[in-house]
Amino acid sequence: MRAGVTFELPVLLALDLTGTFAFGLNGALTAVRAARLDMVGVVALGMITALGGGIIRDVLIGSIPPAAFRDWRYFILAASGGLIAFALSRWLHRLETPILVLDAIGLSTFAVIGTTKALAFGLGAVPAVLLGVVTGVGGGTIRDTLVRRIPSVLHSDLYAIPALVGAAITAATVRAGVYGLPAALGAVVVCFLIRMIGVRYDLNAPQPPGGSGRRGSPRDDA
């Protein structure tokens, strides 16, 4: 690991842990909605959602074993989110907005931290940005595939794009030598705001020209 890139600033760490819990909770809730699963399935999918993106990143940059297996806090928070979602799924469905906000915090923080960690392991700026996005969206993608949904990041809402912007700001500030708490928080906030604006106004990434999608909906549960 290169010295000088401090990717574990205390404030970021707090956001990262918050995001891990939120991803575990939200991932498990999505799993409960998408398929009839037992407790093992719901908690496993919550943990996969929370930890999967970072594990893919760590495998690809060579940070083995992945952080999720070394720092018990991530593990506990992801499992707690999944267990709470399992126990309280009927009530939590009413809390859609706070959960979306927590999820956006997770997405933003994961994208920024994922990018800095990839840079710290010597990757170039473009691959590091890509791995920042993967950190943010990878876990949800695995979860959706396991419950047989087309990953929502591929077809709906602005989800990958805010992560891409946050990751790009991060890589640019690291390369310019001005990365630090203000830059990191700035990147997190920009990502968070784009995501929230997308949710509020139901914005989507562009569709293929000419309406080439041939099926009404890619979802099972629509």
Residue ranges with strand state E in 23-110: none
Dist CA 114 CA 108 (whole Å): 10
Is there binding between residue 217 and a copy of itself (CB under 8 A)?
yes
Interface residues for a copy of itself in 62-121 (CB under 8 A)?
Answer: 62, 64-66, 69-70, 72, 75, 86-87, 89-90, 121
DSSP secondary structure letter of residue 111 = H
Which residues are CB-neighbours of 25 under 8 A, at least 6 positions away?
46, 81, 82, 84, 85, 92, 99, 102
Asked whether the bond before 98 is cis by omega within 30 degrees of 0, the reply is no
Is there binding between residue 41 and a copy of itself (CB under 8 A)?
yes
Token couple for 124 = 């170039």
Least CB distance from residue 68 to a copy of itself, whole Å? 8
Would the CA dihedral through 6, 137, 51, 97 be positive or negative?
positive
Is there binding between residue 221 and a copy of itself (CB under 8 A)?
yes
Dist CA 82 CA 86 (whole Å): 6
- Cβ–Cβ < 8 Å for 115, 131: yes
Which residue from 124, 180, 181, 197 is in contact with a copy of itself, where contact means CB under 8 A?
Answer: 124
Interface residues for a copy of itself in 155-214 (CB under 8 A)?
Answer: 155-156, 160-161, 204-210, 212-214
Least CB distance from residue 11 to a copy of itself, whole Å? 27
Query: Interacting stretch for a copy of itself, rule CB under 8 A, among 60-68, 105-113, 170-178, 193-201?
Result: 60-68
**Binding interface with a copy of itself (CB under 8 A):** 32-33, 35-42, 44-45, 55, 59-62, 64-66, 69-70, 72, 75, 86-87, 89-90, 121-124, 126-127, 130-131, 141, 145-151, 153-156, 160-161, 204-210, 212-215, 217-218, 220-221
